[in-house]
């Protein structure tokens, strides 16, 4: 401990300073002026912002903080998460190693020296001999992926430093999302401005007016919202749709993510019933009662997904029209959102093949899922409305 503890002090009363790692109580942390932070980075407010700084009145006698923020889905506690620009924080061009987690000035030289046997490094060496531009894009993505893995752990633990590309005063972690192609953390309202300059984004995605809401599904879902899924399902009617939701793990994960975004419960139930009906239709088409939603989200099953969504929308093959095309577009939106959840898990596993398959499925949803009576531009506008629901 930095100071002599009281006779009744307990280990859980103490937390470390994020810069000097001195252990202090909550009340001591509020008054702590870290000399190392000032010496290392000048004025700390210019490079880091505390997510939820607890005022003095929030410190109870037992040393626990009451800092929380409320969403429609429930209360989610945040501890000391700092939004940090790592270039300003380190005062250099240091980068985090994708393989060992250390910070290095010449991270690419470090890869060649210490991790030369890794498949990603072998690919990087090969690209250096054939395509310098592709090599630069690939190495940039590796650096951003390393920071993304660090940020995911910070969000799961509820404390630490969340590294972003740029930040503004009074920002909180919820303001930032990763670009799903280069994995640079950008403010939500700046994501559309980032896309034209993203070197890793494919051409088909640049031509669409994608929505920043999809990036939310690349982030971990707080555990508290997983616990609320059962409570929400208790309000649903006991029928086959409810049994389908309860038995499919991916649907439950999707419901938890919707709850974490603050969507009103009635819209969560609406989307939940729709994806359950979709899966039941897929099971009828394939004749497999055990088919899961994760098995449907593949390029090979895209035609089945499109056909099942058409059935739900009342598609008439004779007139080539829909009774409820909005329902079909909402199904496509849900499938794209679910594909982001699967992509998030594939990135965590470092399964590049699965990431490419999910990107291909997402591409098919954008480029091949067309309606005879709706233009692509109108379709994207309706999809934005479906997301906002």
Angle at 104 between CA 101 and CA 109, to 5 degrees: 105
Pairing state between β 48-50 and 81-85: antiparallel
Q: How confident is the model at residue 3 (pLDDT cuts 50, 70, 90)?
A: confident
Quote helix, strand, coil % in the chain, to nearest 5.
55, 10, 30
Q: Do 201 and 192 meet the contact criterion of CB atoms below 8 Å apart?
A: no
Nearest to 28 by CA among 67, 68, 1, 46: 1
Q: What is the pLDDT of residue 22?
A: 83
Burial of 384 (0-12, 13-18, 19+ CB in 10 A): middle
**% pLDDT > 70, the chain:** 79
The answer on pLDDT for 383 being more than 90 is no
Q: What is the pLDDT of residue 373?
A: 46
Alpha-carbon gap, residue 314 to 324, rounded angstroms: 6
Q: What is the pLDDT of residue 44?
A: 42
Query: Tokens 């969507």 sit at which residue?
Result: 263
**C-alpha neighbours within 13 Å on the C-beta side of residue 255:** 30
Q: pLDDT (tens digit, 9 = 90+) per residue, 93-125?
A: 788 999 999 989 899 999 999 999 999 999 999
3 versus 265: the higher-pLDDT residue is: 265
Q: pLDDT (tens digit, 9 = 90+) per residue, 37-52?
A: 544 444 444 444 444 4
Q: What is the pLDDT of residue 92?
A: 59
Q: pLDDT (tens digit, 9 = 90+) per residue, 341-357?
A: 999 999 999 999 999 99
Identify any residues that bridge with 177 across adjacent strands, giving them in sequence order.
Answer: 186
The answer on pLDDT for 361 being more than 60 is yes
Q: pLDDT (tens digit, 9 = 90+) per residue, 174-202?
A: 899 999 999 999 998 888 888 888 888 88
Q: What is the mean pLDDT of the chain?
A: 81
pTM above 0.75, yes or no: yes
Q: pLDDT (tens digit, 9 = 90+) per residue, 290-339?
A: 899 999 999 999 999 999 999 999 888 777 788 888 889 999 999 999 99
Nearest to 89 by CA among 101, 99, 103: 103
DSSP string of 256-318, one letter each residue: HHHHHTT--HHHHHHHHHHHHHHHHHHHHHH--TT--HHHHSSGGGHHHHHHHHHHHTTEETT
Start-to-end Cα distance in the chain: 50
Report, as an integer, the average pLDDT of 139-144.
Answer: 93
How large is the angle between the packed helices 223-234 and 249-260, nearest 10 degrees? Answer: 110
Q: pLDDT (tens digit, 9 = 90+) per residue, 216-228?
A: 999 999 989 998 9
Q: Do 105 and 96 meet the contact criterion of CB atoms below 8 Å apart?
A: no
Report, as an integer, the average pLDDT of 48-64.
Answer: 38
**How many Å is the Cα radius of gyration of the chain?**
24
Element housing 14 (H / E): strand 14-16
């Amino acid at each position: 401990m930095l100071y002599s503890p009281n006779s009744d002090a307990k280990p859980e009363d103490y937390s470390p300073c994020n810069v000097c790692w001195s252990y202090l109580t909550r009340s001591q942390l509020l008054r702590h002026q870290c000399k190392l932070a000032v010496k290392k980075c000048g004025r700390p407010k210019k490079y880091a912002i505390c997510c939820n700084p607890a005022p003095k009145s929030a410190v109870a006698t037992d040393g626990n903080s009451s800092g929380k923020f409320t969403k429609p889905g429930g209360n989610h506690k945040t501890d000391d998460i700092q939004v940090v620009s790592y270039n300003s924080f380190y005062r250099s061009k240091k980068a985090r190693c994708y393989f060992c987690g250390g910070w290095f000035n010449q991270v690419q030289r470090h890869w060649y020296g210490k991790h030369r046997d890794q498949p990603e490094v072998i690919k990087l060496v090969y690209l250096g001999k054939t395509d310098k531009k592709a090599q630069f894009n690939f190495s940039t993505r590796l650096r951003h992926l390393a920071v993304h893995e660090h940020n995911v752990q910070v969000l799961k633990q509820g404390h630490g430093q969340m590294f972003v590309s740029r930040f503004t005063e009074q920002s909180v972690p919820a303001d930032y999302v990763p670009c799903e192609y280069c994995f640079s953390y950008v403010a939500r309202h700046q994501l559309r401005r980032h896309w034209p300059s993203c070197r890793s984004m494919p051409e088909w995605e640049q031509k669409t007016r994608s929505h920043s809401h999809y990036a939310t599904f690349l982030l971990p879902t707080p555990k508290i919202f997983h616990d609320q899924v059962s409570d929400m399902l208790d309000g649903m009617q006991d029928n086959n749709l409810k049994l389908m939701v309860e038995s499919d793990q991916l649907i439950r994960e999707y419901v938890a993510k919707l709850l974490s975004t603050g969507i009103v419960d009635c819209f969560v139930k609406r989307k939940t019933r729709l994806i359950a009906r979709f899966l039941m239709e897929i099971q009828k088409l394939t004749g497999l009662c055990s088919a899961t939603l994760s098995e449907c989200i593949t390029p090979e099953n895209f035609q089945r997904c499109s056909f099942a969504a058409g059935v739900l929308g009342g598609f008439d093959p004779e007139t080539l029209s829909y009774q409820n095309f909005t329902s079909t577009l909402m199904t496509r939106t849900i499938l794209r959102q679910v594909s982001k959840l699967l992509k998030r898990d594939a990135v965590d596993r470092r399964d590049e093949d699965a990431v490419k398959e999910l990107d291909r499925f997402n591409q098919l949803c954008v480029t091949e899922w067309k309606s005879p009576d709706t233009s692509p531009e109108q379709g994207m506008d309706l999809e934005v409305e479906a997301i906002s629901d």
